[in-house]
Structure formats: structure tokens, C-alpha cells
Amino acid sequence: MSALLGALPWLSGVAFAAPTVEPLAQVRPRIEVRTNSGVPTVSQRTRLGAVLSAESVAATVVIQDVRTWGEETNTLLDFTADQIDLRIGFLAWNPYEWLTLTAGRQELSLHEQRLIGAVGWAQPGRAFDGVLASADGDWSADVGAVVLASSNAATSDTDGFLGILRLGHTFDAGQFDLLYLPLADEARSRLSHTAGVYAKGKAGTLHGRAEAYVQVGQRDDAPERAFLVGLSGAWEPEADGSPRVGLWYDYLSGDGDDNDGISTAFDTLFATNHKFYGLIDVMTFSEGGLADDQGLQDGAVKLAISPVAGTRLHLDGHLFFASTAGSAVLGQEVDLTVRSRLNDSLVLTAGAAVLARPSMAAAGWSFLQLDARL
């Protein structure tokens, strides 16, 4: 620092606070087996970074490599590390205790990741390039904007933007939020507005959540009119093992008429979908449900218990229906996961899921994952 001040004499009278450094590291290998592939797949996430803080300013930088074991063409001569990327890189400034301003590449999450989430299960995860202002307290707010695509970048010849506006009130028994997400996507000729309400609360051993969102605007040169409604309730009695019994129901509108010139299938935007609609994700991303604009009704029973300290077992059952005319049964899914903390830095998670669909063979999937965070 003294050498720097000598080179920059106009800074010689300025006092600098020594930054604190908090290292960040994660290594997460995971093996997955699917019924349609007899060969297990091993993927791995590796992250290394740090948070540097000085007074009210902090910089967070995380470099990430995501790979499939065996992807190198040669164990000796392939050393290009094709998947290394800047996972996170943002500045945060706290001009007041209640206000945080961030700018750069960062994770964003709203309303339990219903419409915007980090998708932590996926090895790459999701991050956004943008700015966000967050005010905390009994009354809270988030105001921000992110760049989804830029015609000035080598990877795109179109522009895309997402705005974020959330206003909420937190009280002893829960939370109530209003949300507005404007989206402009030049590649799809889309100008969409998603707005809604989110509320959660508790009374003794009972917990509940309710939310509703509407989408209006233009999508693929067609008027957009869609909606989502979600309800859940849970009972958590004070008993050994911290048991939890939950009931969920989600309704996402679909498009039952391709010829009416109106898009009525709800778009979950940048959500962590498997958290809500089953681990296999078929009803969200593949055949059925949201993938082919049938919409989705998902009724779920979710059970959880800790048989021993440090271990949590989750058993979820889903019944899927289309939300278009006829409400055809799309399938049933059962998900089982067991998460065990081996020590302060290491977590072992195992899981399996089975999806049964009409007139189709059952699909199965299982995984085993180690997650080390240092």
C-alpha cells in the first residue's frame, strides 16, 4: 500500500481500511442413474472464491467449473478446462444498515424460488447480470433490473431485460408480498408482465402459504393471458424427529386452443421448478404439462422426519393433471431423498424417484451426492 501511495501522491493523506477476506470453496460430485440409460453419469461442480469486505463495501467473486467425469478427450493432453466460468462477481454496498445495493453477476431468489431462483440442484446453477436495491425491515422492498441478452455481446444479436419490483411486510406470524416482473425478450417478440401476491403464515404447529400470479402482454406475436395459483399447508407437531406433514396444490394455466391466437399457458420464467413439481422434472421440461402447453395441476403430499440427529428424510407424492379441457391425468410421481450432515463441512444426500404415466413405461431416477463446503 505504501508503494501505491508513493506512486499516487494525491492519495497520501487518505486512510484505507484493511479488507477482511472470507474464502469460499465447494466441491460437489454427484452420480445419477436413469432407467433409459444403463450407464451412470457422474457430474461435478467445483467453486472457488472469496468475499472481500472493507467498511460498507464488499466484493464477491466465485469461479466455477462444471464437468462430467470422462469428458476430456485425453487424460494427459486435454487441459483446456472448457467449462470454467465466472459464477458470481458482484459488488455490494451498505450505505445504511437497512439498505443494500448490489451490481454484477449474482444469484437472485424470490418467493421460495417460485418464479426466480438459483436452481441450486443443477450443477451450473443460475446467475443474473444486473443491479438490485434491497431494503430490509418490517417493510421491505427489492427493486432491480437484469440483462438477459445483449445485442452488443458476441453471443447474441437480440436484447432481453427483466425488471424486479417487490414490496412486502413481515410480521410475527408471517409475510405478505406484492410482486411485479416486467420482461422484454426481443428474440421471442415478447413483452410480458407478471404480477401477483404471496403470503405465508403460521399458527402454532400449522404453517401455510398462498400465492397467485397473472401474466399479460405479447408472446410470439400473440396476446398473452395466463395465471398460476399455489396453496400449501403443513402440520409440524412438537415431537421427536421433528415430523412434518404437508399438502400442496398448484394450478398453472394451459393453452387448450392453438388456433385462437391467444397464449394462455403460464410461463414459470426463471424458477427452480423441481422444488415444486417433482424431482424428475418431466412435467415441467419434457413430455406433458408445461412442456407442451397443457398447463399443470399438481396435487402433492409431502412428508419429512429426522430419524436421527443430522439426518432428514423427505417422501413426496405427486398427482399430475393437465389444466386444459378434460384435465387429463398426466402421471403420478414419488420422490424420496435422505440428507445427512456428516460434519460441519460435508453433507451426503441420496434420492430416488419414480414417475408413472398413462400408456408409457415407468421412468426411474436415482442419485448419490457429496457436498463439501469449506
Report, as an integer, the average pLDDT of 317-324. 94
At 83 the pLDDT is: 83
Residues above pLDDT 70, as percent of the chain: 95
Q: Is residue 262 part of a domain?
A: yes
| CATH at residue 295 | 2.40.160.100
- 204 belongs to a structural domain: yes
Rounded Cα gap, residues 37 and 262, in angstroms: 39
Element (H, E) at 277: helix 274-277
Q: With 90 as the cut, is the pLDDT of residue 313 above it?
A: yes
Convert the pLDDT of each residue in 146-167 to its tens digit: 999 999 998 888 999 999 999 9
Work out the average pLDDT over 135-156. 95
pLDDT tens readout for residues 188-219: 889 999 999 999 999 999 999 999 999 999 98
At 221 the pLDDT is 81
Residue 15 lies in a domain: no
Residues 90 and 32: their CA atoms lie apart, in Å, by 33
- Can you give the pLDDT at residue 81? 80
Residue 20 has pLDDT above 90, yes or no: yes
pLDDT band at 4 (very low <50, low <70, confident <90, very high): very low
pLDDT at res. 192: 95
Question: How many domains does one find in the chain?
Answer: 1
Q: Is 10 within the bounds of a domain?
A: no
In a domain, 350, yes or no: yes
Assigned domain for 9 exists: no
Distance CA 349, CA 335 (A): 13
106-133, pLDDT tens digit by residue? 999 999 999 999 999 999 999 999 999 9
User: Is the residue at 11 inside a domain?
Assistant: no
User: Is 13 part of a structural domain of the chain?
Assistant: no
Q: Which domain holds residue 98?
A: 25-373
Rounded CA separation 83/33 (Å) = 23
Q: Say what the pLDDT of residue 3 is.
A: 45
The contacts of residue 91 (CB under 8 Å, 6+ apart) are 57, 58, 59, 102, 103, 104
